[in-house]
Amino acid sequence: MNNDYNINNNLQPENLDLDFSFYNTEPNNYKEIAIKHLKGKWISSFLVFFVIKILSLAFISDILNSFMFKYIIEINIPFRFQVISIIILGISLFFLAIPFEVGIFNYCTNIKNKNESFKDIFYGFKIYKKTLITGIILNLIIVIGLILFIIPGIILSYAFSMTSFILIKNPELDAFDALKLSFNITKKRKMDIFLFDLSFIGWRLLSNILTLSLGDIFFQPYYYTAQSILFENLWNEYYKIK
């Protein structure tokens, strides 16, 4: 096996560090590089992410969430049936959203590698069992962390934020090893990832609030391509690849 993927000795995470140790980072560099990679690919990326929105029913969900409370009294439907419908919709979206999220990461990683294809967005379904297990475990960990204390939950979300990229980078790993490796790669770099996300706050507000998330088809190719560059930086640093 390639030495780049010889990770067995590095998978066991140490005790959870709840600090945001600062390392020098320049999130604007990731953004500038992402824009260069997206040059000439914006329109195709918009179309791909629009298709993802439709296929994952995310846009429908966003509209429902935005107007549900406004019209819930006007709609003459028993409350228990409304709750059941919302639960069913949420579960359905969950089982679709997780593999599509991996597909998004795969597509944007390949934009960086200059070999992107529409079929990349379905990669999460090719490893559906592994993707689903990873997503369920990750969401449970984060929810538990948020229930106990908000800050640990946020830190855990950053600790495991590179899991999908790792599954793409090394599909031989199982779900648990991918989670452990993400934990190790992001160790003492959580502040870098936080600052990276913070640098997109304006775009997120514009996308999610002003456009009812329809703006995601413009924002997400930019964000996830930049995030894939951030991941490569963390990966290379972890394995000391020059």
pLDDT tens digit string along 192-240? 999 999 999 888 888 777 666 677 888 989 999 999 999 999 998 898 8
Position 13 in a domain: no
Kindly report the number of other CB atoms within 10 A of residue 69's CB atom: 8
Say how far apart CA 142 and CA 80 lie, in whole Å.
28
**What is the percentage of the chain residues whose pLDDT exceeds 90?**
32
Q: What is the pTM of this model?
A: 0.73
The parent domain of residue 116 ranges over: 18-238
Position 6 in a domain: no
How many domains does the structure of the chain reveal?
1
Position 25 in a domain: yes
Residue 39: pLDDT over 50? yes
- What is the model's pLDDT at position 188? 86
Instruction: Please name the helix (run of DSSP H) or strand (run of DSSP E) that holds residue 123, with its range, or none.
Output: helix 123-126
